[in-house]
Structure 1
Amino acid sequence: MKKLLSVLTLSLGVAFTASAGVVIIGNNAAGDMSAADVKKAFLGKGDSSLVVYELDEGNSTRSEFHSTVTGKSDAQLKAFWSKQVFTGKGNPPATVASATAMKAAVASNPSAIGYIDEADIDGTVKVILKP
């Protein structure tokens, strides 16, 4: 029993340290944004000139981002976008499959924003907000 508890404790420690935290990224030419502006953008209520990218559903970074920034769970987010689409008020952001794809999409468009784990940051994109 003691051995099992030690293994579980170590496993949880690894799970929590694997993620450095979510950061919002933009093209290197992008300026900083407030948390309120980012929330609006990812809920389709912000600056219409922004191109917003999301990670695919089921991605843990996506869940962490929305929990922290928009205050919505995966289920709430899905319900929100279903209602927006049904009522004709908006469509969800385009999705990408990975942090690498997110960086490529954001780096190629000066009007694009997205989010990735802070551990995935490199020189191709600029951190515009750390929530």
Structure 2
Amino acid sequence: MKKLLLAVLLCVPTLSLADMVVIAHPSAADISEDEISRLYMGRAGSLMPVNLPDGNPLRDHFEQELLGRSPAQMKAYWSRLVFTGKGRPPVEVATSAEKIDFIAANPNSIGYIPASDVTDQVKVIATIAQ
């Protein structure tokens, strides 16, 4: 049974940091990973971050790798900020395609998507490097 589980897990594709990009409206300037992190933590207000729903593997990967927090830690973090009135969590959309449409229509927004999903509607402003 353990061998079967291991074989299945090895066949499941995993996300790597090189496969994720941060996108913005085509008129946006490039920003650093530190600035992206501050935006998603509610510590900077120049751009509106856009998230995928809780439990989405890409969101989990983004939060763990770039923000250095688990999904549970992020949920608790935002619950505290919202409860105290000190912040508003990122906007949520259901899919990468919806995120691209939202960002293309909202010049002051930012989001992360798989590099393979990039279209000419948005601009890649950062690549999450290993």
**Shorter-chain TM-score tier:** 0.7 to 0.9
- Between the aligned partners of 1:84 and 1:7, the Cα distance in structure 2 is 40
In structure 1, distance between residues paired with 2:121 and 2:55: 25
Q: Is there any run of 5+ residues in structure 2 with no aligned partner, and where?
A: none
TM-score, length-scaled by structure 2: 0.87
- Correspondence 1:37-76 to 2 at 5 A: 37-46=35-44, 48-76=45-73
Once superposed, which parts of structure 1, at least 4 consecutive aligned residues long, lie more than 6 Å away?
A: 17-20
**TM-score, normalisation: structure 1:** 0.86
1:120 to 2:120 alignment:
no
**Bigger Cα Rg:** 1
For residues 5-63 of structure 1, the C-alpha deviation after alignment (integer angstroms, 9 at most, x for no partner) is 489536524423799622111011111100110000001111x2312111111110101
Mean Cα deviation higher: 84-93 or 12-21: 12-21
Change (3 A) 1:28 1:59: same
The change in CA–CA distance for 1:59 and 1:51 in structure 2 (over 3 A counts) is same
Structure 1: 5+ residue runs without aligned partners?
A: none
Number of residue pairs matched by the alignment:
128
Identical aligned residues as a percent: 38
State the partner residue of 2:102: 105
Q: Deviations over 1:68-100 (max 9, x none)?
A: 111111000000001101111101011000000
